[in-house]
Amino acid sequence: MSDPNDVVRHHENTVLPVGEHDITDGGPDMVQFVDGDGNRLSTNAANEPYAGIVEAMTPDDARALYRDLALVRRIDAEGHALQRQGELGLWPSLLGQEAAQVGAGRAMRPQDYAFPGYREHGVAWCRDVPPENLLGMFRGVNNGGWDSGEHNFHLYTIVIGNQMLHATGYAMGLQRDGVVGTGDPDRDAAVMAFTGDGGTAQGDYNEALVFADVANAPVVFFVQNNQWAISEPNHKQFRIPPYQRARGFGFPGVRVDGNDVLAVYAVAKTALDAARAGQGPTLIEAFTYRMGAHTTSDDPTKYRIATEIDIWREKDPIKRMRGFMETKGYADPQFFEDIDAEADELAARIRKAAQEMPDPELPTMFDHIYADPHPLVERERADFVAYHESFEAEAN
């Protein structure tokens, strides 16, 4: 029998004193293929298991990923601008996290299912959710805006970490449906659950990992460690980084450079392949950075310094992917100009759609609360309608 103290000894040299975590260096365990300037890194112990996947990728693959990165960033920028112009009530930006989300999203197969938090606009793009549909909830005109069954992309979850339990339960359902480990690539399915570093401190998150391990569920937990849980830094969330904590639950954990889309894709593909094959869960920690505010109601200048942002700006995922492609000769200037023009068209389409979204009839907020009619909800609906009609009566 193994000594449980081995786990403690294993981590003794990796636990840093509170306040001394380096939030700009992912360390030697981090899987990375392209540096901040776009240079292809040599094979090492961390990235060697995934090198074959990256080497097999074609120039067309690289161009497609770059297009995703650029368009997702423009969707995010438009959402931010619309909120500042009063068209949206709130917007949670993903600026800086595009590679983490696109790499993971593109590693999924059509039959896989994604459970997002509320910042996964890039994953939504990869699951073919029209970007206009992301805006409805933040404009306050619907409760989600897309058919999750059509896209295998669950509605956004505002309660931090709650989606991890949903994901684990769904993954256990896939086992019972007999679509795990059959060897049929068009049938076998897996689940990917997304949260941030702050989500790892939630009870729902940890309970989900326990259930996933004991059930050997086909789920990949994807933690975007963007260094800040709103205003709380990593060292106030955990002493052991998320990827190492997976071992305590009984399954593998991997840290990947979340700003390197090639590395994220390779690691996510490997984990999803294993899950579909019946090999159980994996935890991926995408080491990245939230370049903007937590949401448009947040002011990050109150709790972090400009130097930190400057360091991460040099690690920008789009900058490095463009550098990689130019070095490899995968794209000419016209390609990048065409992508920029497409982004402009997409932004105009999103803006028009947001401004033309009709307000819902007020009583509809009471629809679909329960599967069947509920007397309390019906009374509340009647009171709500009567209240608003009273203003019309006064006006007349």
- CATH number for position 292: 3.40.50.970
119, 290, 320, 322: the active-site residue: 290
The CA-atom distances, in angstroms, between 312 and each of 11, 75, 234, 290, 320 are 27, 21, 16, 9, 12
Q: Is 118 tagged catalytic?
A: no
Task: Please provide residue 221's backbone torsions phi and psi, each rounded to the nearest 5 degrees.
Answer: -90, 120
Instruction: Report helix, strand or coil for 63.
Output: helix
Question: In what helix (H) or strand (E) does residue 117 lie, and over which residues does it extend?
Answer: none
Same domain (yes/no): 187, 318: yes
* Active-site residue flag, 290: yes
pLDDT of residue 21: 56
Residue 247 lies in a domain: yes
Residue 3 domain-assigned (yes or no): no
Q: Which of 30, 14, 29 is nearest to 259 (CA)?
A: 30
Residue 368 appears among annotated catalytic residues: no
**Within a domain: 150:** yes
Buried b (16+ CB within 10 A) or exposed e, 249-262: bebbbbbbbbbbbb
pTM: 0.91
Catalytic one of 119, 294, 351, 381: 294
* DSSP line for 270-327: HHHHHHHTT---EEEEEE----S-SSTT--GGGTS-HHHHHHHHTT-HHHHHHHHHHH
Give 88's contacts (C-beta < 8 A, 6+ positions apart): 79, 82, 135, 138, 139, 354
Strand segments (E) across the chain = 113-115, 191-196, 219-225, 228-229, 232-233, 253-257, 282-287
Give the per-residue pLDDT at 3.
40
Query: Could you tell me if 83 and 174 lie in one domain?
Result: yes
Locate 223 and state its tokens. 């933690």
List the end-to-end C-alpha distance of the chain, in Å, as a whole number.
82
Catalytic residue among 84, 187, 303, 387: 303
φ/ψ bin of 183: left (φ > 0), alpha (ψ from -120 to 50), beta (otherwise): left
Give which of 257, 283, 259 is closest to 195, Cα–Cα.
283
Say if 25 falls within a structural domain.
no
Give pLDDT, residue 11.
Answer: 34
- The domain total for the chain is 2
Do residue 385 and residue 257 come from a single domain?
A: no
Pair 238, 373 in one domain:
no
Same-domain pairing of 245 and 375:
no
Biggest CA–CA distance in the chain, Å, is: 82
Predicted confidence pLDDT, tens digits, the chain (396 residues): 334 333 333 333 344 444 445 788 999 999 999 999 999 999 999 999 999 999 999 999 999 999 999 999 999 999 999 999 999 999 999 999 999 999 999 999 999 999 999 999 999 999 999 999 999 999 999 888 899 999 999 999 999 999 999 999 999 999 999 999 999 999 999 999 999 999 999 999 999 999 999 999 999 999 999 999 999 988 888 889 999 999 999 999 999 999 999 999 999 999 999 999 999 999 999 999 999 999 999 999 999 999 999 999 999 999 999 999 999 999 999 999 999 999 999 999 999 999 999 988 888 889 888 999 999 999 999 999 999 999 887 776
Contacts of 123 (CB under 8 A, 6+ apart): 101, 104, 105, 114, 116, 153, 194
The pLDDT of residue 20 is 47
pLDDT at 129: 96
Residues 112 and 230 occupy one common structural domain: yes
Query: Per the domain annotation, does 29 fall within a domain?
Result: no
Q: Give the domain extent around 374.
A: 364-394
Q: Is 13 a domain residue?
A: no
Distance CA 161, CA 28 (A): 28
Q: Is residue 39 part of a domain?
A: no
Whether 165 and 297 share a structural domain: yes
